[in-house]
C-alpha cells in the first residue's frame, strides 16, 4: 500500500523556513504589558502552561513534519509517515503530550465580529483579510486597551 501524502511529493518545492518564535521573549513582553488582573485572566486560558517556557519554537521541524502528513479518514487525528511507518495522533493524544486540556466551554466564532478587535485597535492598518503578525508585534506594546477582555484576546494572538 502506497502512502498518500496530504501534499503530494510532486507538488513540493525546496524552501527554507527562517522564522523562529522565541517564546521566552514573547512571555517577557506579555508580563511587561499586562496589568496583574489581566495577567491572571490570561493564566486561566488553555495556553497558561507556556507562560514560563524558555525555548525557541523550531518552524523547520514543524514544516518538515507537515510535509510528511498523510491523508487519513479520521477527522479527530493527524497522521505522519515517519521512517516508513504511519504515526497517528488523536486530539486526546496531542492534549496529553502537550499538557493542554479540552476547553469546558464551546467557543463559537461569529463571522460578523471576527475582525472587531483588529478594526478597533488597528483601524487604518488592517483590511478584512489581513493583519500581519509583524504589525501586531510592533504595536502591541503601545496599545491602550479599552478593557481587560480585549487585552487578553489580543495577547493570546
Structure confidence by residue, pLDDT tens digits, 104-125: 656 555 555 556 787 788 776 5
Out of 53-62, 122-131, 132-141, 148-157, pick the least confident.
Answer: 122-131
List pLDDT tens digits, range 129-138: 566 777 777 8
- Beta strands in 38-121, from DSSP E residues, in sequence order: 56-58, 69-70, 77-82, 85-90
pLDDT for the residue 103: 63
Q: What is the mean pLDDT of residues 15-26?
A: 69
Please count the CA atoms within 13 angstroms of the CA of 3 that sit on its side-chain side.
18
pLDDT for the residue 8: 83
Looking at per-residue pLDDT, the higher value among 141 and 105 belongs to: 141
pLDDT for the residue 127: 59
Out of 18-27, 31-40, 59-68, pick the least confident.
Answer: 18-27
CB atoms within 10 A of CB 154: 19
Cell 475582525, residue?
115
* Residue-averaged pLDDT of the chain: 77
Q: What is the mean pLDDT of residues 65-93?
A: 85
pLDDT for the residue 64: 78
Amino acid at each position: 500500500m502506497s502512502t498518500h501524502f496530504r501534499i503530494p511529493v510532486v507538488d513540493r518545492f525546496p524552501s527554507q523556513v527562517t522564522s523562529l518564535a522565541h517564546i521566552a521573549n514573547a512571555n517577557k513582553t506579555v508580563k511587561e504589558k499586562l496589568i496583574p488582573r489581566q495577567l491572571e485572566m490570561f493564566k486561566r486560558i488553555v495556553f497558561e502552561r507556556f507562560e514560563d517556557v524558555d525555548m525557541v519554537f523550531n518552524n523547520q521541524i514543524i514544516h518538515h513534519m507537515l510535509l510528511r502528513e498523510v491523508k487519513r479518514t479520521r477527522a479527530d487525528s493527524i497522521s505522519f509517515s515517519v521512517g516508513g511507518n504511519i504515526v497517528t495522533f488523536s486530539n486526546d493524544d496531542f492534549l496529553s503530550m502537550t499538557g493542554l486540556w479540552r476547553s469546558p466551554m464551546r467557543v463559537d466564532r461569529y463571522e460578523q465580529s471576527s475582525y472587531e478587535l483588529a478594526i478597533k485597535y488597528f483601524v487604518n492598518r488592517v483590511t478584512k483579510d489581513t493583519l500581519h503578525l509583524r504589525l501586531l508585534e510592533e504595536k502591541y506594546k503601545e496599545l491602550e486597551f479599552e478593557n481587560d477582555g480585549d487585552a487578553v484576546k489580543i495577547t493570546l494572538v
